[in-house]
Chain A
Amino acid sequence: MKKNNIEGWLFVSPLVIWICLIILVPIYIAFELSLFNVKIIGTSGKFVGIDNYIKLLGKSKFLNASLNSLYWIIGNAICQTFFAFTIALTINYKFPGKKIMANWIILSFIIPTVVVVVIWKLMLSSSSGVINSVLIDIGLLDEATGFFSSPNKAFLSLVLINSWRWSPFLALIILSGLNSINREMYDASKVDGANFIQQFFFITFPNLKSVLFVLGLVGTLLSFNIFDIIWLITKGGPSSATTTLPLLIYETAFTKFRISQAATLSIITSLLLLLFSIIFIKSMAPKEDD
């Protein structure tokens, strides 16, 4: 198809300008702030150069939050891949009620995150939660446990809650990949005697490359950005075990009011994510032939 340079840019530019303005101007402000020592919003501090960066990189809080973010991304990737594939492969079969199921499985994604928090705070409550009482009834637990009381349990519970919210959405995107696979390939492989596990690894999975590329990129960035579920349930605790980088930035800025430090954190975090995105796109982008 012939290229339409000027008109093409004309149609894209309103969105591009909107996004650039709302991303680049704030990033510039943050960068400027990170070179000064501003403590209170609205005041101007003194110029400190890269001092903020040096100080921050040596802080154990920063290291702790970075590691938590890394575990958070990995944990969510594993859980969400498992749930999303289970849902997608299940819905891909024919069964009564399939249509309704495919439409409504995404319920956990369309409700406000605050409602997700309410649901799981109630269900996992140590005094009156249904999960505790069921686990005790079937003999898996002797007495009610606090799912958010110890560092590991809190972290794991949050990963599961977040996966509960996102997996159905990811499942639908995987389904889109499944739908685009030619049915004849399955029939042909059946003739050759392949079972459904072999079909999954030799037909389904390789054909999902471009879906998995988008999910790998966007999914990682989206789960990195998760703030509200963690903040509203554990506030980053117990003992900072669930403080990921987004929570650290929020805390630094809006509970400790160290604006310059928070800006420095934001800049470092953006650089990390940008680096990740570039490496990911360069190494994993599927070759397009259109």
Chain B
Amino acid sequence: MASGIQIRQMTKRFGDLVAVNAVDLDIDDGEVLCLLGPSGCGKTTTLRMVAGLEDVSEGEICIDGNRVNDISTPERNVAMAFQFYALYPSITVAENLSYPLHAEQISRAEIKARIASVADKLDLTEVLNRYPSQLAEGEKQRVAVGRAIIRKPSCFLFDEPLSRLDIELRQQMRTKVKEVLAGLSKPTVIVTHDQIEALTMADRIAVMRDGKIEQVATPHDIFAAPSNTFVAGFIGTPGMNLIPSVIEGVSERGELKLNIDGQHVVVDVNAGAMNLPVGAKVTLGVRPRFFETVAESSETTLSGKVDIIEPMGAETLFHVLDGTRELRVVMDRTVRFKEGETIHLEFQPKLTHVFDAQGSLVQ
């Protein structure tokens, strides 16, 4: 029997609007998958369909090898933490935590033991007798997570679990949640719009846009080899520089000759790009941290004027104007440039991506 969650060609329509468009996903037991995307991209709808809170228009969902399309939410036996926590206001934290356990035929002693263990894991022992209205935001969020992990369900679903916390609390919780998630032996799906959250907590990330999955990969791969310009621009802060350019040929050393806004630059890129015809329009993707500055302009450098300087602590962000385009360049804080100064940027070898006219990565 297959285990985990399999989603095949799952589609959701609200009238004419296609909220989720033919999504395919596999999540294995013990794996944490993050659905990442801008708001309104269909990630929450996807999660709600897995939970059975929304009907599936087309396609199918299997949990533990069983097709669950026509199975009601309670029978799917999924655990879920809601974005707005959805704590029951009339009962205490302890009762909230044990709420899902009443459906399982387990003894009072076992219920007590499980409450104690979850409360211990999530630092909730002190507040077990309080009501949700008496809790701080971070405590509410932990109760919501606790109510999910107290069970032995077929899968765990988290909808924007950290979105309502302030930045400091979010960092603490991220670590806490990651710790908790590591102990789970069932598939876990987390919905988030925060890439840091996805990159830190997920085993794999599925980036969504307009109801479609753009790429599914490990946090490392999705950062290092984004499959298209959307993923490339979405992941990483500051965002990747996407520079339109035209191919002018291949140099003797097997490097790509490009025309970037009138400047002729030779760039060391992936071998696949060499097969593109001369004159093809491509997009060059360079992360802000993958530039080097050199003193002299040469055939491997792109020159530009420093426009705005934003110190970020350990690093400094320079907005560099090359003609009309703005490039984001991040340098160590010890690198000092003045506004208006012309600098020469060199692309670090193999860390520059080429996307074709359709925006897909050229391998």
Indicate whether A and B interact.
Answer: no
Q: Which residues of B contact A (CB under 8 A)?
A: none
